[in-house]
Amino acid sequence: MKKGFYEFKKRDFLCSISNIESGTCNEDCKFCTQSVKNDIEITRYKRKEIKTVVEEAKNAKRHKAQGFCLVTAGQKLTDSKLEYIISLVHAIKKEDLDLKINACNGLATLEQLKELKKAGIEVYNHNLEASKEFYPKLCSTHTLQERYETCLNVKEAGLNLACGGIFGVGESHEDRISLFNSIKSLEPMIVPLNFFHYTNNLPISKNVLTKQEAFSIIKTARNMIDSAKVVMIGGGRESMFEDRQYEVFEYGANSFIIGDYLTTFGESAKKDLISLEKLNYKIAN
């Protein structure tokens, strides 16, 4: 029987991401290595070659990813970016990989999102990142309200919404509860939880969350945003949880990113798969 994308009540789901435009963002999010305002040494480029992205999609499929997300740096989706992303979707679809192609391209209009859906994008990821009270301390170049409106556009366009946040950036427990309430009001299908991975020169201090606090964040998200089908652990899994990283499933997560992140290396996908198998986790594929 062919399994549906989100049919993993007893299975865990893996997603892979491709940074198709890196480090070119003019916004000033303090936690983000992709902002040109944060003086971080990363590889910066405008457009990744189509054939490279197709190879990455094939590699994601080989490593049991069900979802493959096309991520761009930058405040918003522009029409030229939209054209580029649509050409990538067509090229990947030609390979018939049975991969769900997702997108994460910043603020977007309803019309742009409808175009993405028409091209075959299934999920649009747009995180609120932080509570409305705390967000202005992390970013001054756009507002949380703008992010919220894009999330509403995603839903109106008929796309599935992935909407989560980042933790360990100096937020309080109350901020997390406020963030989860805002996310809950959007009824996302997927809730990505990212844990801040400190890189030299970022203008905020290191993540001081303990593993137990981080597990408790996952549990709270799972309980509060109870309509979400997926709680996904995104960036920072390895540095946050170290040798306890697979315990995230015991606290309510049922998905994580496999392979590398946007500007940092992840655990080897092969090693993840071997570890999950040893621990008897079933991967939806």
232 touches ligand SF4 by CB under 6 A: no
139 is in an annotated binding site: no
Closest by CA to 165, choosing from 155, 151, 180, is: 180
DSSP string covering 22-67: BS-B-S--TT-TTBTTS------BS---HHHHHHHHHHHHHTT-SE
25 is in an annotated binding site: yes
Q: How many residues bind ligand SF4 (CB under 6 A)?
A: 9
Show Cβ contacts of residue 261 under 8 Å, excluding neighbours closer than 6 positions: 17, 234, 235
CB of 24 closer than 8 Å to CB of 74: yes
Closest distance to ligand SF4 from the beta carbon of 38 (Å): 8
Tell me which residues in 91-120 interact with ligand SF4 (CB under 6 A): 106
15 is in an annotated binding site: no
17 touches ligand SF4 by CB under 6 A: no
151 is in an annotated binding site: no
| Strand 160-162 with 165-167, pairing | unpaired
Closest CB to ligand SF4 among residues 140, 172:
140
Stretch that binds ligand SF4, among 25-33, 55-63, 182-190, 197-205 (CB under 6 A): 25-33
20 touches ligand SF4 by CB under 6 A: no
Name the region of 169 (left: φ>0; alpha: ψ -120 to 50; beta: rest): alpha
x/- site string to ligand SF4, residues 54 to 73, per CB under 6 A?
Answer: -------------------x
34 touches ligand SF4 by CB under 6 A: yes
- H or E element at residue 124: strand 123-125
Instruction: Give the binding site for ligand SF4 (CB under 6 A).
Output: 25, 27, 29, 32, 34-35, 73, 75, 106
